[in-house]
Chain A
Amino acid sequence: MTNCPVCGGAVEISDDPVEGELLECPECGSELEILGLDPIALGEAPTAEEDWGE
């Protein structure tokens, strides 16, 4: 468990986190990215760009 950098709410982290992983804060809905693993560091995920997709 760590804190959302936007609202400070609690964000659950899986047992196998990966750098770059996208998460959503359950309290404020912000899209977050795991920036570091030891210790877990979260930041706001970048905004979608025009060529993002599948």
Chain B
Amino acid sequence: MDEVSTIAGKVQRVKDHWPGILAIILTLIAWHCYAIFLIRNRFLLPGPVDVFFAFIALLQKGVLLSDFRVSLIHFAIGLGGALLIGIPIGIVMGWNSRMDAFLNPIIEILRPIPPLAWIPFAIIWFGFTPVSAGFVIFMGAVFPILINTYTGFRGVSRIFVEAGRMLGCTRTRDQIRYIAFPAALPSVISGIRIATGVGWMCLVAAELFGVSNNGLGKDLWFFYDLHQMDSVVVYMILLGLIGLVIDMIFRYYIEGRFLKWRTGEVA
């Protein structure tokens, strides 16, 4: 599959995707016609051409890149924290049923609180720093990671642990590291993937509500205040595309690299 970089392969790929590409082009045309001929109001609905020029203007000003960088920092803080906290707690709860019984009620009480409800405390605790937005993202991302790690560890087949014991893998630490964790990895990774999606949504909201002075979500709001709706659409599309790219990295890179043993299995 790696050698599909030949011209024939590329042609084939374009052929495979052309219905999708066509749909995008048709949508753009429909959007354009609708905005130009029916709405005829750039504030209510900017057309694709307006959006494109707004994009160029924003790019020239250099705002987009710095917004992107700031948002990525927020996201990295939130997701990094969620991985650091969520995976170990998920492992402990999934491996040890007494810890499960102990921690489960707290998790179940905290989990349904919408991450955005933490915004006031994010501001009080961390002020207008990247950590503040990161914290809101963390609250959104940590539970999918924790729950999926937990579920993955619960589902580790006993036969793997026993086979490991027969082969000298008797210490708990080794059993987690060499058997339970790799066995649970598909579930852990799908948890992280869900967490990136949730985290990305929290990012926009966290920045929107003034937790940050910069970032994609913040400036989306800023341009709304200026009534520059074409710029708002630029930010909307960017946010969507970046979210898509993050998800694609997961689908194609992470899963291909760490879960390649699952090809051929009915997963």
A and B held together in a complex: no
User: Which B residues are closer than 8 A to A by beta carbons?
Assistant: none
